[in-house]
Amino acid sequence: METPFSLAYGSDAMILVEIHESLPRFQSFVAKESNEERRVNLDLLDEVREEARIKVEVVKRRVEHQYNSKVKPRQFQVADLVMQKAHPYELENKLSPNWTGPFRVTAARGNGSYKLETLEGGPIPRTWNAANLKFYFS
């Protein structure tokens, strides 16, 4: 695994503790060999960066797949009755209901957002994401 420093500059950093403690890495330093190794590291830097980018992409896809496997897609139609997730400030105590409603879906805005109204016809402000809604069965 590469460090951000080595990806940016092509070699590992040497910290002050390594210099002051006279570790073998510092004691065995030879300027000519170091310059040659530095040139080799710089020649290979693009390949190392590309390999790191591929690893990052693999991790992103794995996380995305894991997230998407747990998501329950919900789609509502106009006139469906739904319950809305209660806000934390609406909860009086731990026994308060976690869902409020029912409400009627008046419009689907796309990308999982919906406009709602009360059963009496009063509009609910703003749009609501499908993740915060669930079907109401009467």
The residue segments making up the domain with residue 50 are: 4-70
**Domain with 103 in it: what CATH number?**
2.30.30.140
Q: Is 129 helix (H, G, I), strand (E, B) or coil?
A: strand
Between CA 40 and CA 11 the distance in angstroms is 10
136 with 81: CB under 8 angstroms?
yes
Residue 76 lies in a domain: no
The edge-to-edge listing of strands for the beta sheet with 128-129 is 128-129, 113-117, 99-110, 81-85, 133-135
Asked if residue 91 and residue 55 are part of one domain, the reply reads no
Confidence (pLDDT) at 86 = 85
Per-residue confidence (pLDDT) for residue 21, from 0 to 100: 61
Given this model, what pLDDT does residue 117 score? Answer: 92
The last residue of a domain, from among 70, 93, 125: 70
Q: Select from 106, 133, 109 the least CA-distant residue to 119.
A: 106
Of 79, 63, 82, residue with least CA distance to 71: 63
pLDDT tens, N- to C-terminus, the chain (138 residues): 677 777 777 767 766 665 566 666 666 666 777 778 778 777 778 888 898 899 999 999 999 999 888 877 788 889 889 998 888 877 788 888 888 889 999 998 878 889 999 999 898 888 888 888 888 887
